[in-house]
Amino acid sequence: MNCKHFVSSLGLALLVLVLSSSPGYAGSSTTLQSLMGKTHFHGISVHSVDPARFYLATHHGFFLVSPDGKAKQLSDNNDDYMGFTPHPTDQDIFYASGHPAGGGNTGFIQSTNGGRTWKKLSTGVGGPVDFHQMDVSRADPYLIYGVFRGLQISEDGGNTWKMSAKTPPGLIDLAASAGDTQTLYAATQQGLLISRNRGQSWQPAHFNRSPASMVQAAGDGSVYAFVGGLGLLRSPDDSMSWTPLNNDFGDTYLLHLAIDANYPDILYAITNKKEVLTSQDGGRTWKVFT
C-alpha cells in the first residue's frame, strides 16, 4: 500500500460528515446494508452471549446486528457515538462520547443496560469533551483514557478526569494494555507507538514506521494492530513480538476491531469502506459480513 495514499484516504475517512437522514429510533429495525448507506460506524463490540451478533456505535445511534444482517436500534436517541468502548467485564456497560443529534458534545457517557439508555458521567477536562479515541484498561476497569485537547485519564470509572499528557502527532487510535496499567498503545500516521508510563513518553512499537490505522488489546493480553503495507499484526503480549496475520486487504484498511472474549478466534472489524468484516480463525482469513 502506498503510504501517502493511505494517509490521505485515512484523513478523508475520519473527517467526512454524514449528511443523510437518521436511521430511526429505539426499537426500529433496519439492515446493516442500509446503515452502510446512511451513517458511519465508529465502534464495534461482540455480543457477550451470542458471538454471531455484534454491537455497532454509529453516527446516528447504537445498534445490535443479527446474523441475518438485520440491525435493531437499541439507543433511545440518534446521537453520534464518535468514541466508543465496552466495559471489559460487565456485558451491560458501555462507554461513549461524541455529539448529541442536536449538536454540541455529549461529554463522557455511560450505558448500564446494554446501550438502551445513556447518561453523562462527566464533562471531562475542558469539556463537555468529545473523545474520538478512548479505551478502558482491562488490567484495571476503573482506569479509562480519552483524547480531547490532549490525553485525559480517569481513575474512578469515568466520574472525574485529569489532563495527563500531550498526544502523539497524527493520533488515530488508542489502546490500553490488558496486562499492565502503565502500558498504552497508539496508532498514528507516523507508525505504531507504545508508552510504558501512561502516555508521558512514546517509543516505536514496530520498526516499520508506516501509518497505523488501528490498535486493540484483547482480553487474553494479546495486541492487534493494522499497519500500512503490513496488514493485520498480532503480538501475544506487550513484548511487541509481532506476527503477520493477513496482508491481503488491497486498498482496504481496518479502523476498529472487536474480539470475542470467550472465543478469541472470532473477530469483527470495521473498514475504511464502511464494511464489516468477520474472521473465524483469529484474523488469518476474512469475509464481508452480509
- Please state, in angstroms and rounded to a whole number, the distance separating the CA atoms of residues 223 and 216: 6
Q: d(Cα 127, Cα 132) in Å, to the nearest integer? A: 13
Surface-to-core class of residue 170, CB atoms within 10 Å of its CB (0-12 exposed, 13-18 middle, 19+ buried): middle
Give residue 22's pLDDT.
57
**Could you tell me the domains of the chain?**
3-288 (2.130.10.10)
Q: For residue 160, give every residue at least 6 positions away whose Cβ sits within 8 Å of its Cβ, in sequence order, or none.
A: 122, 154
Q: Please choose, from the candidates 181, 146, 179, 138, the residue with its C-alpha nearest in 3D space to the C-alpha of residue 165.
A: 146
The whole-number average pLDDT for the span 102-131 is 96
Going by C-alpha positions, the residue among 175, 125, 173, 172 that lies closest to residue 150 is 125
More confident residue, 13 or 97: 97
Distance CA 131, CA 239 (A): 28
Say what the pLDDT of residue 13 is. 46
Q: What is the pLDDT of residue 19?
A: 37
Could you tell me the pTM of the whole model?
Answer: 0.89
Task: Specify the pLDDT at position 27.
Answer: 72
Q: What value does the mean pLDDT take over residues 50-67?
A: 96
Mean pLDDT of the chain: 91
Is the per-residue pLDDT at 127 higher than 70?
yes
3-class secondary-structure state, position 97: strand
The letter for the amino acid at 9 is S
Write out pLDDT tens, residues 68-94. 999 999 999 999 999 999 999 999 999
